[in-house]
Structure 1
C-alpha cells in the first residue's frame, strides 16, 4: 500500500492555502486508519481467505515525489549509437517479463521464476552514506552513528504519534536448541508467545538429534520423555532417533565406500570416510568402519609386505591403527574437526603415528611407493608419449638427474 497525498480524506481536511506536504500529521493519521482498515478486512473479513500470518513495515520517503525525477533516472542507451551497451543492459540488467506472460523466459524453471520475482520488499538498511577525510586514529562511533541516522518529517510525525513502524503475527520468538540443564531462558504459560526452533548444524550431533526429536515427538514433558519410544527410554538421542527411523540408513554410505573401493586408492577411501563423518550424519559409523577397514588399510599392509618381503602377512591391529590415524588427521584438518572418539569410533594410538622413529609421516609416505610397480608402468607407457610430452618428460629427467 502506498500513501497518496491526494486522497480525498486528506485534501478535504486541508485549510485554505495548505497543500498535503504542509500537513504530515494529517497524512500519517489517514494512512494509519487505512492500514488498520485493511488489516481488519484481512483478519476478520478474510478477503484473501483464512489468514495464517502477516507482516508489514511502514517506510517513509526521504524526498518529495516531485523531487524524485531530478535525483533518480534510468534510461536505455541508444541502440544505434551504442548497440553493444544496449545489448548488455537489456540482457543482464532488466528482468522479465517472466511467469505466465513469458513462460519461455530463460529465468523460468519448472514454471517458476528462478530469480524469485515478484519480490516482497520489507525493509532496507541505512539511508545515508558519509564520505570524508578524518584522522585515522580517531574513531568516534557515536558521531558516525548520529550522522548516519536520518528521520524525515513524515517518519518523525509517525513516531511522535506512536504509530507502529512494523507489525507481524503470530508473535514468534526463536529458541535455541539446548541440551539438558543448559537452558538459558525461563518462561511460563502466561508470558510465553509462540516460539520456533533454531536450525542446528549436523556437526553439533547431540543438539541436532535433540532438535530432530523435538520436531517429531508430540507433547514431550521432559528430556527423558524425548528419548522414550513406546515403553523404552533410551540412553542417547541417537538411539531414540534410530528406533524411530529418523536417521538415514547406513546402506547408502556403505554403497558409496564400496564404489570408491573399485575406483580409488585406499588412502582416498579413508578421506571419503572422513568427509562423510564430518559433513553428514551417519547412523552407525562403527559398522561402516568394520565393513571397510581392510580397504582403507590396504596401503599399509602392502607397505609392510614389501618391507618384510613376505606376501603372507595379514592385517593386524597396528595396520588398522594406521588407517584410523589417517582418517582422524583428515578430520582434524577440517574447520571445527573432531576426533574419531566423538563419532563413537576407536581412538587411534598416536605413539605409532610414524612409520619410522626418525621420519615424519609426510616424508615416510614418500618412501613407501612400490618402485617395481612404478617402473613397470613407466616401461609400459613411455613409448606412447607424444612429442610434446616426451620433450617435457626428458627435461624433467635431466633436471632431477
Structure 2
C-alpha cells in the first residue's frame, strides 16, 4: 500500500489523502491475450524445463550442506542418518553395489540413474533423461569413498590437491619457474622478492614450496654478501621482505605453504655462537638417516635420566649412581686416559682433521681449564 499526497490524489471534501493500491490496480488492469487465455483454460503448463537437471553436490568429507528448521536441536540434525546422505556419498555406495556404475563419471550419473529426494538414494533410470550439474571438479570414475579419491597408483596422498596433481589434472608451475629464471639473469635479488610475491598474490601456483626451494638461493644472494650466515637467518630475511610486499595486498606469509616467519630479530646484536647455531641446517639425507636409525639407545638414555631425576635409580654407597657400562670409556691404563677419550670422540682424527663438519659436531666437555689445556696439548 502506498500513500500518495499529490494534489491530484487528494480528497478535498474529506480533507484526507487517497490510498492507492498500485498492485491491485496493476492486476485489474492486466491484459491477457487470446493465446494465453486459451492456454490457461485448457490447463496447459505455462513453463517447463527440458531436459531435467539434477544438481550434484560436491563437498569434502562430513562437510555437506544440510538444510534444517532453526527450532530443531542441532545434535539431532547431526545424528540423523538422512543428513549424512548426499548425491556424492550415495554415488560412492552405488559404485560398491553396482559394477556398471563404476564405469560412469559422477557428472554422467543422472543420465543412467535417478536421484530419489525422499529416500536420498540412486536407482537405475527406466525412462526419460536427465543431465547433471555440479561445481567444477576433475573426473574420476568408480570411486567408492573419499580415500579412494586421494589414492593414485596405490599411494594415498594427504590432500585432494596432491592427488589431482598426481593424476595430471592440475597445471604445473613451469611457466612461473621460466619467468623467474629469466629475471635472474638481469635483475637483483630484491626484484626477485617482488616478483615472487607478485606471483603468490596474482598467480595460480600449484606447489608454492617447490617454487620456493628452487629459487631461494637466488633470492638470498644479497644477504649472503652482507655476511648473514646461511640457514635460518637468510630464510627469515627473505620471508620478511616477501611479507612486507604481501601485506600491501592483505596477505601474509602464513597464507601460503612457506617456512614459518619468526619474530624479526636484529642479527647484529646476536653472539657469534648463536649465529653459527642458527646458520646450521640439516640436509634431507641426514634427516633420512635419523628416521631410519634405531632410537632404542636414545630411549634408554632418556629413561635413565628420568629415573635419576625422580630418585628411583638404585644408588651405591654415599648415594652415588652407577653409570652403565655403555656410557663409560675404559682406558687401557691411567696414563692413556686422555687418548682414550679423544679416540672415542674423534675417531680417525688425522683423516678428518680438515673436515669442519666432523670437528664442529663433536666436543669434549671438562670441568676445569687445566683439563682443557692438558687435552689440547
TM-score band by shorter chain is 0.3 to 0.5
Larger RCO, structure (CA 8 Å, separation 6 or more)? 1
- Normalising to structure 1: TM-score of the pair? 0.40
- Normalising to structure 2: TM-score of the pair? 0.42
Pair member with larger Rg: 2
